[in-house]
Homo-oligomer: A and B are copies of this chain.
Amino acid sequence: MFKNDLTGLLKIEYPIIQAPMAGGITTSKLVAEVSNSGGLGMIGAGYMTPSQLREQIKEIKQLTSNPFGVNLFVPNEFKMTEHEIKSANQFLTPIRQQLNLHQKEHFEMPSFNHIFETFMEQIKVVMEENIAICSFTFGIPSKEVMAELKQSNMILIGTATTVREAVENEKAGMDMVVVQGSEAGGHRGSFIDDNQESLVGLMSLIPQVVDTISIPVVAAGGIMDGRGLKASICLGAKGVQMGTAFLTCVESGAHQVHKEAILHANEDQTILTRSFSGKWARGIKNKFILEMQNHEIQLPDFPVQNTLTQDIRKTSAAQNNQDFMSLWSGQSPRLAKKQTVEILIKNMIAEANSIEAK
């Protein structure tokens, strides 16, 4: 059941991709277990150094002989001025006080050149390690990079939040595209359309994308079980990518406080914020989001704001204090369960198969 061109291209049993959640959530155990259970495990490598990435790839190869993939952040140009950084940092003063954190004035800001070089090294690692599948968020790599990757026969997956972004991914040579509905947790993958325009629900987004492009479409956003899988396929997708559903699994590396926050949240408690990183992202409403809400439009771009808030997020997590952590979640937290990856995938397929829909 559920065999199609997507499962064929990815050489997997079920059309279920584990979303590449960056920041330590996609442990080797999580990735390997997803691939061992018939889905596609993905390393969220966005924030990794090339050597960390290589190490994790080697570790996962010890745990599974099935295909798994790597997701990379495509570097975006960004502006920053001393003044902007200073004034954005001032908004964080009351928050550092609440955490008993030293006020911070100096930050090692990443340069675009450095980020771009890291990205190129990550690509090199992925190729050297013969990774079969690579996906991209926040944009599309340059023609040169795409050509090099295509030559190595890697399956390439793009991310889109609108029809226009899906078309650009197809034009650039992606083999398939993840369409991210407004329901999705974590960072918005939009790279052409701005926040408001790119917030299209999956019920609308999937059919409009599949009517326009020819490559397989993967649905992402709020999908947690067999109902979401089957519905996505009815709408024309060939598979699903799930983040929140895997985040609360026992194998995930998400902070316990983050898992618990999702397991106790309702569908109306998530909100979009750019206060954590400078990019819009969906997470469970907490003190940090509410206290920063009036300033969020003026904050610097990703990754500048992300660097400014790093000590806050880390300290809050170390204190098991959910108030100032980024509690990324999609809009279906009521459907989240604490379970193993194996059970999640098994039940999901059984449920999808049992739906009659007549």
Chain B's closest residue to A229 (CB) is B234
In the bound complex, how far is the Cα of B268 from the Cα of A179, in angstroms? 14
On whether the beta carbons of B235 and A204 are closer than 8 Å, the reply is no
Q: A35-43, A45-53, A102-110, A329-337: which one contacts chain B?
A: A329-337
Q: Most chain-B CB neighbours within 10 Å: which of A162, A224, A228?
A: A228
On whether the beta carbons of B231 and A204 are closer than 8 Å, the reply is no
Question: Given the complex, which residues of B lie within 8 Å of A330, measured CB to CB?
Answer: 204
Chain B's closest residue to A228 (CB) is B203
Question: Given the complex, which residues of B lie within 8 Å of A131, measured CB to CB?
Answer: none
Q: A19-27, A191-199, A320-328, A338-346: which one contacts chain B?
A: A191-199
Chain B min CB distance to A212 (Å):
8
On whether the beta carbons of A268 and B162 are closer than 8 Å, the reply is yes
Chain B's closest residue to A230 (CB) is B234
On whether the beta carbons of B335 and A211 are closer than 8 Å, the reply is yes
In the bound complex, how far is the Cα of B182 from the Cα of A201, in angstroms? 7
Chain B min CB distance to A18 (Å):
18
Given A182-B182, A201-B201, CB of A163 within 8 Å of CB of B267: yes
What 4 A-B pairs are tightest by C-beta distance, nearest first? A201-B201, A204-B222, A204-B331, A183-B201
Give chain A's interface residues, CB within 8 Å of chain B.
1-2, 162-164, 181-183, 193, 196-205, 207-208, 211-212, 219, 221-225, 227-228, 230-236, 266-269, 271, 330-332, 334-335, 355, 357-358
